[in-house]
Amino acid sequence: MANAGNWEPGKPKYYGRFNQGVVTINLPDVALSSEGNMDEFWKIFDDRLELCHRALRCRHDRLCGTLSDAAPILWQYGALARLKKGEKIDKLLYGGYSTISLGYAGLYECVKYMTGKSHTDPEAKPFALQVMQHMNDKCAEWKAAENIDYSLYGTPLESTTYKFAKALQRRFGIVKGITDHGYITNSYHVNVREDIDAFTKLKFESEFQRLSPGGAISYVEVPNMQDNLEAVIKVMQFIYDNIMYAELNTKSDYCQVCGYDGEIQIVEDDGKLVWECPCCGNRDQSKMNVARRTCGYIGTQFWNQGRTEEIKDRVLHL
């Protein structure tokens, strides 16, 4: 179909796969809108999913009719396909050649509000899995009807976590443990404030990763393990045996003023979170290097207040 000569429908495809875009559902908003009533929850959930579906269709429809000439490297020279000049890309938008993503965020807060428990609690876990399954079922339903490859995706939510958290506070005020932070928990992740060891976390999250086929990554927060490579290998082996995709979150910071190369700290200054060198007190961001997992890629660009609060709250899992 892409004139690459190496694609067979129905078989896994590595060359030229692409994504048409993502729209993310704010799961805590669904829960809070239901005021804790389960029947209402599933009704509102379906309404919101349909809204996401319509928004995804806007992205898809916007791409329909695009000529390969719009981006020759992508469509003509082989990055995504080898179409002819003047040819429309439309056929690549159907039949599984490319995907389109239903994203989701805040499964933890959603479950916590509806059940009063974290989704790691055996009593709340079935509901959490049901929510995940329902989003997968919707993707399958849309896909069957439209021949567009909808897939459920754990949105990285890099700065959007703050936007979603502020929207929740605006709509529902401060609800303890649900909307009282500047961030919400990424995708299916265990809440960053929850005490849990690395192995239990990875094992638990692997059950959810299976239900996030459009994209997922799990992390464990670790201290400096340069002198304990045996432990690093142990975790790596556990990841290999138990979960599709996971990583160790390490810290790699440097203070340009005093040469300190340990962990730069986040401290509160008059209600604002700022980065500070624990060695010399330097707070000038242009004179320090900080690298942190941003819940997608590792970033070094400093973050909005919500994501910074989330980074500050992270407990160590080892």
Contacts with Zn ion by CB under 5 A lie at 255, 257-258, 260, 277, 279-280, 282
181: left (phi over 0), alpha (psi -120 to 50) or beta: beta
Q: Which is nearer to Zn ion, 190 or 277 (CB)?
A: 277
Q: Which is nearer to Zn ion, 246 or 277 (CB)?
A: 277
Q: Which is nearer to Zn ion, 131 or 277 (CB)?
A: 277
C-beta separation of 129 from 136 below 8 A = no
* Residue 264 CB, nearest approach to Zn ion (Å): 8
* Structure-block tokens of residue 45: 């959930």
* Residue 307 CB, nearest approach to Zn ion (Å): 23
* Residue 258 CB, nearest approach to Zn ion (Å): 3
* Structure-block tokens of residue 51: 């809204």
- The single-letter code of the amino acid at 118 is S
Q: Which is nearer to Zn ion, 21 or 262 (CB)?
A: 262
The C-alpha R_g of the chain, in whole angstroms, comes to: 22
* Residue 261 CB, nearest approach to Zn ion (Å): 10
Q: Which is nearer to Zn ion, 151 or 282 (CB)?
A: 282
Following DSSP, what letter does each residue of 181-220 receive, concatenated? SS----TTPPPTTS---HHHHHHHHHHHHTT-TTB--EEE
CA distances in angstroms from 171 to 35, 158, 174, 180, listed in the order given: 12, 22, 9, 13
* Residue 279 CB, nearest approach to Zn ion (Å): 4
